[in-house]
Structure 1
Amino acid sequence: MDHLGLTVSDLNSSKAFFTDVLGFKVLGNDPTYPAYFLSNKKTTITLWRIKNNEKRVEFNRAKNVGLHHLALSVKSIEKLSRLHKHLKMQNNNTIEFAPENLGKGPAQHMMIREPSGNRIEFIARPI
């Protein structure tokens, strides 16, 4: 995969979430689009603002074709737990579920929604 593009309703809040909370760096932006291009050295994400926020249709993962969620790797279960605690203290996301076993384990995952509502899964797969 080269990059993933996400349409967002609040470009600045979503950019702040990815940079301030998740540690992504801004590679660039295009104010005419408008969009931000972000990277964490493993994954590149393009965030672009929806054209007409008043007419937006919220994504329903059970009824729409499209991105179900973005899954990002976390190095360890301990770091996943720390990330969960950090995200609980933020007011710009919604936690769908806290870290739990993925299937029978030992991998664990959690799911959130970033400020514009896109679903992000964080997953730790112990070696």
Structure 2
Amino acid sequence: MSNTSGLNHLGLAVADLDQTTRFFVTVLGWQETARDASYPRNSITDGNLRLTLWQVDHSVPPKDFDRRHNIGLHHLALQVDTEADLLRLADEVAAWPGAVVEFMPEFMGSGPRKHMMFAEPGGIRLELVWMGV
């Protein structure tokens, strides 16, 4: 039996706090719930999952994360309710300035599940998943 009971929040270091927040709020429909300008950081939620976004220190050039060579977050997978939601969001992501689409919606394995991969403008790699039901 586990000694923990789920994810409280996931903290992500981002290149531009406002840019990443704007992407999550505008494209994915999340809500900003708290901001601390002294760090700076803020919290956002989709109503089920809470992320804390932390602004990286730009006094030295930040290094981009390399999922094949660094220990840490490979990607964050977010579930959508319908295939129509996935297709609509794929178009919105592809049109968003600075977002980089790795691949548009496609079957996971033999289907019917579908997913897409992309990086939000700040470089965080995200996956949108429709479970096919």
Which residue does 1:7 correspond to in 2?
A: 13
Q: Which amino acid aligns with 1:3?
A: H
Q: Cα distance, 1:54 vs. partner?
A: 3.6
Q: Would you identify which runs of 4 or more consecutive aligned residues in structure 1 move more than 6 Å?
A: none
Which residue does 2:66 correspond to in 1?
A: 60
Please say if 1:79 is aligned against 2:85: yes
Partner Cα distance (1:92, 1:28) in 2? 25
Q: Cα distance, 1:86 vs. partner?
A: 1.5
User: Higher mean Cα deviation, 105-114 or 83-92?
Assistant: 83-92
Please say if 1:109 is aligned against 2:109: no
- The Cα RMSD (Å) is 1.1
- Give aligned pairs, total: 127
Instruction: Report the 3-state secondary structure (helix = DSSP H, G, I; strand = E; otherwise coil) of the residue aligned with 1:61.
Output: coil
Whether the 8 Å CA contact 2:115–2:127 is kept in 1: the answer is yes
**Identical counterparts, % of pairs:** 37
The TM-score with structure 1 as length reference comes to 0.95
Q: Cα distance, 1:51 vs. partner?
A: 1.5
Q: Which amino acid aligns with 2:29?
A: G
Note the residue ranges of structure 1 that are not aligned, 5 or more in a row.
none
1:125 to 118, 124, 131: 131
Instruction: Report the 3-state secondary structure (helix = DSSP H, G, I; strand = E; otherwise coil) of the residue aligned with 1:55.
Output: coil
Partner Cα distance (2:22, 2:42) in 1? 11
